[in-house]
Homo-oligomer: A and B are copies of this chain.
């Protein structure tokens, strides 16, 4: 590389030079800015004691100290990659794919990512249709889970993601098989006629390829009607490390992360823990206790203080008042319909109602004895129950339950 690079070109190069979450690299950028960080990291200019001091201070500000803070050691890691840097080529590649590289300071840059502090991505490679901008973090929900989802998980994911996207939320996920794919698909299907961004997929590999290959059609559809993001540049393969770091972006860009199905050990739990450590809301969908695919969700309920969520309205509650301001929360009918006849009765009337026979009629004296109420209490109570349509009397002023 020769000559001065722009901020965007510098960050394009740095996103290839540094692995995601390379905190020494991140600290170097904070300390001296992206352009100088690139010159230092590539040994174009030598690292001075003053620069090392600045980096150490930035790391200390974030509670990070110790051996790994040495720039010289980090440069041993970065060195082998310097020859492959080609930021102009990478930027041209993403442009050719109809995309762009977003960097901090851009209008479209998601402010919520700054909650990752030192570990804020260097940039976000993006494909797709941002329309009027990326969705507000308060109206974005991450829906994640097992790749080997069950029919149950697929069904619940479809219900929740569909209703969320249909009511103006953006469904964020990782573009993987299983729950991720069901979430993206339901969001796309729910908003066929709508504007806005139904869904965002955050990938662990460069955006010049669709991974996994079996989801190519889905990811193409997301590029057309939603957005696909990655912090690594075109050409980079997915690795376990990159998957794990990718999860922090999903968690940070969402007001709530919901795990629909996950095994006792599952990558989805990693996203969940990122959400919790960021102070984002965390929801888990319960399932049958015999289902290994729900064991991770139950673990989150037990160990991570996740909120039990069973439908989209409960997920919206998780997003808080800012996410809900634009709409009425719909409550499932079975949760309001079961209202019993005795609702709202005082204790005395409940005792009296219990004492009233169903078939034969009973005198007030007997009702007092059976109910444990005074005669006066029975008289007043019967009047109230009669008004409520719960008690009936015959011509002899005897009483029974009204049918």
> B residues within 8 A CB of A335?
264, 295
Interface residues of A in 279-316 (CB under 8 A from B): 285-290, 292, 294-295, 297-298, 301-302, 307-311, 314
Asked, given contacts A240-B354, A308-B286, A338-B263, whether A84 binds B302 with beta carbons under 8 Å apart, the answer is no
Minimum distance in angstroms from A317 CB to a CB of chain B: 9
Per the bound structure, the CA–CA distance linking A375 and B350 in Å amounts to 80
Do A374 and B77 have beta carbons less than 8 Å apart? yes
Q: Does A19 contact B (CB under 8 A)?
A: yes
Q: Does A102 contact B (CB under 8 A)?
A: no
Q: Which B residue's beta carbon lies closest to that of A354?
A: B239
Interface segment out of the listed A108-116, A126-134, A137-145, A365-373: A365-373
> B residues within 8 A CB of A372?
18-19, 22, 77-78, 81
Interface residues of A in 153-178 (CB under 8 A from B): 155-156
Do A308 and B308 have beta carbons less than 8 Å apart? yes
Interface residues of A in 354-403 (CB under 8 A from B): 354-355, 365, 368-369, 372-377
Per the bound structure, the CA–CA distance linking A78 and B377 in Å amounts to 11
Per the bound structure, the CA–CA distance linking A239 and B350 in Å amounts to 9
- When all copies of this chain in the complex are counted, the total is 2
Q: What interface size band does chain A fall in?
A: 35 or more
Do B289 and A342 have beta carbons less than 8 Å apart? no
Per the bound structure, the CA–CA distance linking A355 and B236 in Å amounts to 12
> B residues within 8 A CB of A309?
302
Per the bound structure, the CA–CA distance linking A335 and B78 in Å amounts to 39
> B residues within 8 A CB of A350?
240-241
Q: Does A328 contact B (CB under 8 A)?
A: no
Per the bound structure, the CA–CA distance linking A19 and B354 in Å amounts to 12
Do B302 and A307 have beta carbons less than 8 Å apart? yes
Interface residues of A in 238-281 (CB under 8 A from B): 239-241, 263-265
Per the bound structure, the CA–CA distance linking A297 and B310 in Å amounts to 11
> B residues within 8 A CB of A338?
263-265
Q: Does A351 contact B (CB under 8 A)?
A: yes
Beta-carbon contacts of A67-102 to B below 8 Å, as 1s and 0s?
000000100111111001000000000000000000
Asked, given contacts A84-B369, A372-B77, whether A308 binds B314 with beta carbons under 8 Å apart, the answer is no
Q: Does A210 contact B (CB under 8 A)?
A: no
Extra A-B contacts (19), CB below 8 Å, given A77-B368, A80-B365: A18-B372, A73-B374, A77-B372, A77-B373, A77-B374, A77-B377, A80-B374, A156-B290, A241-B350, A264-B335, A265-B338, A286-B287, A286-B288, A286-B301, A288-B288, A289-B310, A292-B334, A298-B310, A308-B308
Q: Which residues of A contact B (CB under 8 A)?
A: 18-19, 22, 73, 76-81, 84, 152, 155-156, 239-241, 263-265, 285-290, 292, 294-295, 297-298, 301-302, 307-311, 314, 334-335, 338, 340, 342, 347, 350-351, 353-355, 365, 368-369, 372-377
10 contacts between A and B (CB under 8 A): A76-B377, A80-B375, A84-B369, A240-B354, A241-B347, A286-B301, A287-B289, A288-B288, A301-B301, A302-B307
